[in-house]
Amino acid sequence: MHIPNGFLTDPVCTASTLAATAALGVGFARLRQLDGSRSSAVMAATGAGIFAAQLVNFPIDHGTSAHVLGAALAAIALGPWCGMLTMTLVLTAQCLLFGDGGLSTLGANILNMAVAGTLVASVFYTLGTRHVAGAKGKLLGAAAAAFGSVLASASLCAIELAASGTYGLADVLSAMLGVHAVIGVSEALISVSIVAAALTLRNEKRSLSTGRVMIGGLVLAAAVAGLVAPLASTAPDGLERVAADLNFASRATSSYAIAPDYSIPGIAWPTLAMALAGIAGVVVVFVATYTVGRTATAKVRKQ
CATH number of the domain where residue 259 is located = 1.10.1760.20
Q: How far is CA 97 from the centre of its chain?
A: 15
Question: Is residue 237 included in any domain, yes or no?
Answer: yes
Residue 1 lies in a domain: no
Look over the chain and give the mean of its residue pLDDT values, rounded to a whole number. Answer: 90
157, 85, 161, 160: which is closest to 118 by C-alpha?
85
Has residue 201 been placed in a domain? yes
In contact, 143 and 132? CB cutoff 8 Å: no
pLDDT band at 190 (very low <50, low <70, confident <90, very high): very high
Contacts of 37 (CB under 8 A, 6+ apart): 210
More confident residue, 14 or 234: 14
In a domain, 298, yes or no: no
Q: What is the DSSP code string of 79-129?
A: -HHHHHHHHHHHHHHHHHHH--S-STTHHHHIIIIIIIHHHHHHHHHHHHH
**pLDDT score of 78 more than 70:** yes
The pLDDT value recorded for residue 22 is 95
- On whether residue 299 sits in a domain, the answer given is no
Considering the domain boundaries, does residue 302 fall inside one? no
In a domain, 109, yes or no: yes
State mean pLDDT over 119-128: 96
pLDDT mean over 211-234? 89
Count of structural domains within the chain: 1
Which residue range(s) make up the domain with 84?
10-25+35-293
